């Protein structure tokens, strides 16, 4: 049996074959195992003698198999090292350093500010249902407000999210009230592109829901938050704005961060810059999110991340941001 085993073992070249041999000899019905089972028919001295011999054989078979497995592994490694996959780690690298996208830089900066104010940061999909993008946001089918956003519909009946508000319902359902969350994300609208319009852009939505949240909380919060973003004290003012998912809804302006409100070319002499839409979350939206509007109120705002990145880095053409042109995009990284 030992000779047969050694002959067979010397033939194998891969680990699968070795496993077969192991089963054939040491498995439940293996030859060595059968020998051991045979011991019970023997008597005293015989049993002892054969027992020792068979156990010796068993150990030997076991050790030889282990050694062979190791040998095969070594050979395999050797083959890899000497093949095309070999590379020289000591060669100098001639690749340029990578860089963060300006939108990523602004997004991370904002996330840090919001996290310090107790907000959780939520991720959300880009392909969403009509319900999440519109219906849950108080925009029923055939409502004219749907025309405000030119939507890309997909063959499967879903759509590319047109705004980060599409995540509101899911996040309200996930956490309930009270709630503070931001959700950055990529949005899509079927628009023709020019220097200030793109069909693909980034927003960062924020919601704060609690007992007794009012418009003055909204104003104070936005002022504090935006002063951190622009690294200087900014004033805010609200103008009425219409969005079906907020009531009342506003367009929020900040005092120009370049001239401090005195009037310059950036703010076209007005001292104000239109920054972001916001408002008090509509009771229907809270209700759809499983939150009782009698008990809780809240505000929501939609920051244009793409727009903020352009302001921060003085990027004139929005198309540069989606261009994938590394020469253009890499210059913002060394602040
Ligand atoms: N979702 C709106 C848009 O993209 C912006 C918005 C967000 C308005 C939150 C009000 C409150 O047009």
Q: Which residues pair with 206 in a beta bridge?
A: 182, 301
Catalogue the long-range contacts made by 259-262 (C-beta closer than 8 Å, 24 or more residues apart). Answer: 260/232, 261/235
Q: How far is the CA of 300 from the centre of ligand 1 (A)?
A: 8
Torsion, CA 113, CA 117, CA 121, CA 126, rounded to 10: -70
Here the ipTM equals 0.98
Q: Give the residue-averaged pLDDT of 148-175.
A: 94
CA 98 to chain CA centroid, Å, is 20
Burial category of 40 from C-beta neighbours within 10 Å (exposed 0-12, middle 13-18, buried 19 and up): exposed
CB 184 less than 6 A from any atom of ligand 1: no
Greatest CA separation found in the chain?
111
CB 138 less than 6 A from any atom of ligand 1: no
Q: Quote the pLDDT of residue 12.
A: 78
CA dist 258 and 248 (Å) reads 30
Asked whether 204 and 182 are in contact (CB, 8 A), the reply is yes
Torsion, CA 23, CA 29, CA 31, CA 35, rounded to 10: 140
Closest by CA to 161, choosing from 192, 196, 123, is: 123
| Ligand 1 atom with least separation from CA of 165 | 1
Closest by CA to 4, choosing from 50, 48, 56, 57, is: 57
Mean pLDDT for the chain overall = 90
Q: Give the residue-averaged pLDDT of 11-27.
A: 82
C-alpha pair distances (Å), 185 with each of 31, 134, 291: 64, 17, 24
Asked whether 279 and 250 are in contact (CB, 8 A), the reply is yes
Could you report the per-residue pLDDT of 181-205, keeping only the tens digit for each?
999 999 999 989 999 899 999 999 9
| Ligand 1 atom with least separation from CA of 137 | 1
Question: In this model, does residue 120 exceed pLDDT 60?
Answer: yes
H helices, E strands: number in the chain: 11, 9
In terms of phi and psi (left: phi > 0; alpha: psi -120 to 50; beta: otherwise), the region of 214 is beta
Buried b (16+ CB within 10 A) or exposed e, 72-108: beeeeeeeeeeeeeeeeeeeeeeeeeeeebbbbbbbe
According to the annotation, is 6 in a ligand binding site?
Answer: no
Q: How far is the CA of 249 from the centre of ligand 1 (A)?
A: 9
Banded pLDDT at 127 (limits 50, 70, 90): very high
Question: In this model, does residue 246 exceed pLDDT 60?
Answer: yes
CA dist 203 and 306 (Å) reads 7
Q: Give the residue-averaged pLDDT of 28-39.
A: 84
* 143 compared with 148, residue with greater pLDDT: 143
Asked whether 163 and 202 are in contact (CB, 8 A), the reply is no
Q: How far is the CA of 240 from the centre of ligand 1 (A)?
A: 13
CA dist 120 and 43 (Å) reads 76
Highest mean pLDDT among 29-43, 60-74, 286-300 belongs to: 286-300
Choose the residue to mutate in 136, 164, 165, 168 for probing ligand 1, maximizing ligand atoms within 8 Å of C-beta.
165
């Amino acid at each position: 049996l030992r000779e047969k085993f050694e002959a067979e073992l010397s033939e194998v070249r891969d680990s699968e074959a070795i496993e077969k041999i192991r089963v054939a000899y040491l498995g439940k019905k293996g030859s060595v195992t059968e020998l051991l089972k045979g011991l019970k028919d023997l008597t005293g001295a015989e049993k002892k003698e054969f027992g020792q011999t068979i156990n010796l054989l068993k150990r030997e078979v076991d050790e030889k198999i282990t050694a062979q497995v190791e040998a095969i592994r070594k050979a395999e490694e050797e083959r890899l090292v000497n093949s095309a996959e070999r590379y020289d780690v000591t060669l100098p690298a001639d690749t340029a350093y990578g860089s963060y996208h300006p939108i990523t830089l602004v997004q991370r900066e904002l996330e840090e500010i919001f996290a310090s104010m107790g907000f959780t940061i939520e991720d959300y999909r880009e392909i969403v249902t009509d319900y999440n993008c519109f219906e849950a946001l108080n925009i029923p089918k055939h409502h004219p407000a749907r025309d405000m956003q030119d939507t890309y519909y997909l063959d499967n009946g879903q759509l590319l999210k047109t705004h980060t508000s599409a995540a509101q319902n899911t996040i309200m359902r996930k956490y309930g009230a009270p709630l503070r969350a931001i959700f950055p994300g990529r949005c899509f609208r079927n628009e023709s592109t020019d220097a200030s319009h793109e069909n693909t852009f980034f927003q960062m939505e924020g919601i704060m829901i609690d007992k007794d949240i009012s418009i003055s909380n909204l104003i104070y919060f936005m002022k504090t938050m935006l002063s951190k973003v622009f690294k200087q004290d900014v004033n805010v003012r609200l103008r009425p704005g219409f969005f079906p998912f907020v009531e009342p809804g506003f367009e929020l302006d900040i005092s120009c961060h370049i001239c401090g409100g005195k009037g310059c070319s950036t703010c076209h002499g007005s001292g104000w810059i239109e920054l972001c839409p916001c408002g008090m979350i509509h009771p229907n939206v809270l209700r759809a999110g499983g939150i009782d509007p009698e008990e809780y109120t809240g505000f929501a705002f939609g920051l244009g991340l793409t727009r903020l990145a352009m302001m921060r880095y003085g990027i004139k053409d929005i198309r540069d941001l989606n261009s994938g042109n590394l020469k253009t995009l890499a210059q913002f990284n060394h602040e």
